Structure 1
Amino acid sequence: MTRYIHTTFGTREVLNEIRSKHLDRPIHLSIDDSDHLRGMLIELTDDSKSAFAMPTSYKVLSSAGADEELRGWLMFSFITLNDQERDNFIRRYEAFLSQGNLHGGLSSFLLQRTNNDHQLVLLSTWNTKGQWEAWSQEDDFPMKRYEGANASYNLRRASYSFAAFTKA
């Protein structure tokens, strides 16, 4: 069964209002670690249709770990690749996941934006930010080859904490 992750962004107040209209759905409020005034609603679902008026939606290409729900500290790594690079990236990442070692992470999701096949996202969840930071320094860190000043992959990152674990 195909799964999807839907997101939308705004202030905590607006997002709580949206969330309260969809209590029947597993929608979670998270806060941007770099801007505590910016929030994100995120939903992991089997439904390709988002509850949000202005969603950013992703198809889950593969996942590993405790992937039945979203929990923990969230790290999004966004990358834009051409067709060949995308296919190679997907193969490499699925091979990495098949090794079964999440380096202490709770879960990992490889996502593809539903309206642009060239935009991929590696979403990993962790107990703490420090665990991700340690993993990102490992030799087998899957994003290492896409980093650096000479990389032309538009790699960018965003981290979020669930609202229950952040200060208002």
Structure 2
Amino acid sequence: MIRNISMTFGSEPILSKIKKDNPDRDLILYDALNNRNELMLLDVSGKDSIFKSLVQYDVLSHGGTDDWHGFISFIATKLDIDQQKVFDARINQLMSNPLPSGMHSIYSLHSYKNINERVLLTTWNSPTQFEMWKKANPLLMPETYNNDPSFYSHESNFKFVH
């Protein structure tokens, strides 16, 4: 299992050069769906990051079979201890069953050195399948969290470039 996932953002020439200069790494280039021409280079090698400016996550758990060549979604939340227990239980339940149609894999992550920030990373065949799943599952978070002014959640979606 991958123990950490890191990423960096930048222009296509710079990210492509990083990818070319590191052929031993599993570096994958993505384009943001909600902000065109915002590119992300994802390192799924599980090795220590090579990026100077990075975002890094430690893997808590994983389910499914990875396919990084489609659509991926990151849903980040900041949770207190009790919310983490609920979140982790729901993710573990999801991972213990067959994954939804179109989902290749699911990762439960926490921000590097910040256990309070949890990220749900999922890989999919298409954005349509993700949207259908998201509508059927209220982000695995109780609705009361969304009504709490201190609750933070952010979603970022990307499509594979090369």
- Calculate the TM-score normalised by the size of structure 1: 0.86
Match of 1:143 among 135, 140, 144: 140
What secondary structure is seen at the aligned counterpart in 2 of 1:155?
strand
Equivalent-residue separation in structure 2 for 1:46 and 1:63 (angstroms): 13
Per-residue deviation at 1:131? 0.3
What secondary structure is seen at the aligned counterpart in 1 of 2:73?
strand
Go from structure 1 to structure 2 and tell me whether the alpha carbon gap of 1:109 and 1:147 turns closer, same or farther (over 3 Å shift): farther
Q: Where do 1:1-168 residues align within 5 Å? A: 3-47=3-47, 49-67=48-66, 69-138=67-136, 140-145=137-142, 150-151=147-148, 152-164=150-162
What secondary structure is seen at the aligned counterpart in 1 of 2:93?
helix
- Calculate the TM-score normalised by the size of structure 2: 0.89
Equivalent-residue separation in structure 1 for 2:95 and 2:29 (angstroms): 27
Equivalent-residue separation in structure 2 for 1:32 and 1:88 (angstroms): 29
Equivalent-residue separation in structure 2 for 1:15 and 1:66 (angstroms): 26
Per-residue deviation at 1:51? 1.1
Deviations 1:65-86 (A, max 9, x none): 113x523201110100012221
Of the structure 1 ranges 12-21 and 22-31, higher mean CA displacement relative to structure 2 is found in: 12-21
Give the fraction of aligned pairs with identical amino acids, expressed as a percent: 27
Per-residue deviation at 1:100? 2.2
What secondary structure is seen at the aligned counterpart in 2 of 1:60?
strand
Equivalent-residue separation in structure 2 for 1:32 and 1:58 (angstroms): 19
**Which has more strand, going by share of residues?**
2
Count of paired positions: 161
Q: CA RMSD in A?
A: 2.0
